């Protein structure tokens, strides 16, 4: 797959990414599978991964300032 930003090759990697579901809450997802560009480091989440991410973030305590959650495929 080609990067939509620079045209470089996208490669599957596992990484940690932050998400901000509200003004006060940050969720860090550990060991998240993404596609990342070899040139510009742009990343892309596949649809099935993003659906699971949305479900996981929906279960996070909205009163927490920081939560760290393992994706665990």
Contact 32, 53 (CB under 8 A): yes
Give the pLDDT confidence score for residue 61 in this predicted structure: 87
Report the alpha-carbon angle 39-44-46, nearest 5. 140
Structure tokens at 18: 């932050």
Report if residue 1 sits inside a domain.
no
Predicted TM-score of the model (pTM): 0.84
Domain, as residue range, for 50: 10-70
For residue 52, the domain's CATH number is 3.10.20
How many domains, in total, are found in the chain?
A: 1
- Dihedral sign of CA atoms 7, 8, 14, 17 in order: negative
Give the pLDDT confidence score for residue 73 in this predicted structure: 62
pLDDT by position in tens, the chain (length 73): 899 999 999 999 999 999 999 999 999 999 999 999 999 999 999 999 999 999 999 999 888 999 999 998 6
Give the pLDDT confidence score for residue 52 in this predicted structure: 95
Q: Cα–Cα distance between 62 and 58 in angstroms, integer?
A: 9
Rg (CA), the chain: 13
């Amino acid at each position: 797959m080609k990067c939509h930003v620079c045209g470089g090759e996208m490669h599957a990697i596992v990484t940690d990414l932050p998400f901000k579901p509200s003004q006060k809450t940050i969720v860090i997802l550990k060991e998240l599978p993404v596609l990342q560009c070899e040139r510009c480091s742009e990343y892309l989440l596949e649809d099935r991964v993003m659906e699971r991410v949305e479900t996981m973030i929906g279960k996070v305590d909205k009163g927490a300032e920081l939560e760290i959650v393992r994706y665990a495929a």
